[in-house]
Amino acid sequence: MCGSICVEESIREVPSVWVTASTSAGEGPPSSRITLTPKHSPNYPPLILGGRSEWWVTKGGGLTLGCRRAGHPEPTIEWDRNGGALGEGEQLLPGGDVHLREVKESGNYTCTAVNNMGVDRVTHVVHVTTPPPPPVLTLTHATHSSLNVTITTTGDGGAPILGYTVHYRLPSGSWQQQATPDN
């Protein structure tokens, strides 16, 4: 199954690409295919073939950023992080991608492809997320058979709150939980 952008042929060949969109409901159908054909000249400038450029990763998680390229003569590539050199735990892979192990902080990762015909670059924005801090509960109303509480978010850990799980226990029962969407 393809990711956001699929490359059918080796980068050294003329690539054919298509795109799919994904939501929480799944992946949609593919777009029509586009074949990238170099100009009549045997030499052409670099073209980076990539997918998504904004990423969210849990702190300590890993991520591979793409930098597949076409061009003739074959472009060389360089990666930088926030304008400086890649750090420890950031590994250049064969083919031009870079793998980030145990991501600790957000940053901009730029891949630059260069040959004597030109330059192309792509910047991947990496956002590091953490689980959200606990919300604050405020009792707003109580009767003998019900409690009304207000949930106040104290932070989101770098990603939107998708919902809450309420844990409760009735006087004569075991602990229960109920998921609620964020409204």
Angle at 171 between CA 169 and CA 177, to 5 degrees: 15
Q: How far apart are CA 174 and CA 164, in angstroms?
A: 20
Q: What is the largest CA-CA distance in the chain?
A: 83
Q: How far apart are CA 32 and CA 29, in angstroms?
A: 10
Q: Residue 5 has what pLDDT? A: 40
Instruction: Decide if 96 contacts 111 (C-beta within 8 A).
Output: yes
Beta strands at 118-129 and 54-58: parallel, antiparallel or unpaired:
parallel
Mean pLDDT over the full length of the chain: 83
- Structural domains in the chain, CATH included, are 41-129 (2.60.40.10), 136-181 (no CATH)
Share of the chain above pLDDT 90, in %: 40
- pTM for this predicted structure: 0.63
Question: What are 160-172's pLDDT values in tens digits?
Answer: 888 888 888 877 8
Q: Residue 140 has what pLDDT? A: 92
pLDDT of 104 strictly over 80: yes
Residue 73, preceding peptide bond in cis (omega within 30° of 0): yes
DSSP string, 71-132: EESPPEEEEEETTB---TTEEEPTTS-EEE-S--S-EEEEEEEEETTEEEEEEEEEEEE-PP
Question: What are 17-31's pLDDT values in tens digits?
Answer: 767 776 666 667 777
Angle at 129 between CA 124 and CA 132, to 5 degrees: 160
Given pLDDT bands bounded at 50, 70 and 90, which one contains residue 9? very low
Question: What are 105-157's pLDDT values in tens digits?
Answer: 999 999 999 999 999 999 999 999 988 899 998 989 988 888 888 888 898 88
